[in-house]
Amino acid sequence: MDAATGEMMIPKSTLKALIEVTGQPELNVAVLVMLRDAIEHRLEKIQVALRAYEEKYGMTFGEFEAAGKRGELPDRFSQEVEEDYFEWDSLVTRQRKLEEILQWLA
């Protein structure tokens, strides 16, 4: 970053790559396109992981959480179930945050 102007300095090779990958000649547009693509890619990866948990437990995270609170999950205090809960919760939280960011960029 240029301390005097507050502008970010981008190496020419990075700028060229952004333009080539996105097909957008304007830096601001190219960065926005890349950012959206990166977020959408992360959301796809999160969706795959969420589906794996849904298949494993036969329910959505909300249903899983509610069943746990009602004491209806077998082995709910096992290390595996607790680790799955925390990872699943983290994925759902991250998904919501990334979807929110995509809305800002729309």
- How far the first Cα of the chain sits from its last, in Å, is 26
Q: How far is CA 33 from CA 8, 20, 24, 92, 98, in A?
A: 18, 12, 8, 24, 15
So what's the pLDDT on residue 2?
A: 64
Position 8 in a domain: no
Conformational region of residue 10, where left means phi above 0, alpha means psi within -120 to 50, and beta covers everything else: beta
Position 10 in a domain: no
- List, as one string, the DSSP characters of 45-56: HHHHHHHHHHHH
Position 51 in a domain: yes
Position 5 in a domain: no
Position 43 in a domain: yes
pTM: 0.83
So what's the pLDDT on residue 61?
A: 97
Per-residue pLDDT of the chain (106 residues; tens, 9 = 90+): 666 677 778 899 998 999 999 999 998 999 999 999 999 999 999 999 999 999 999 999 999 999 999 999 989 899 999 999 999 999 999 999 999 999 999 8
Position 88 in a domain: yes
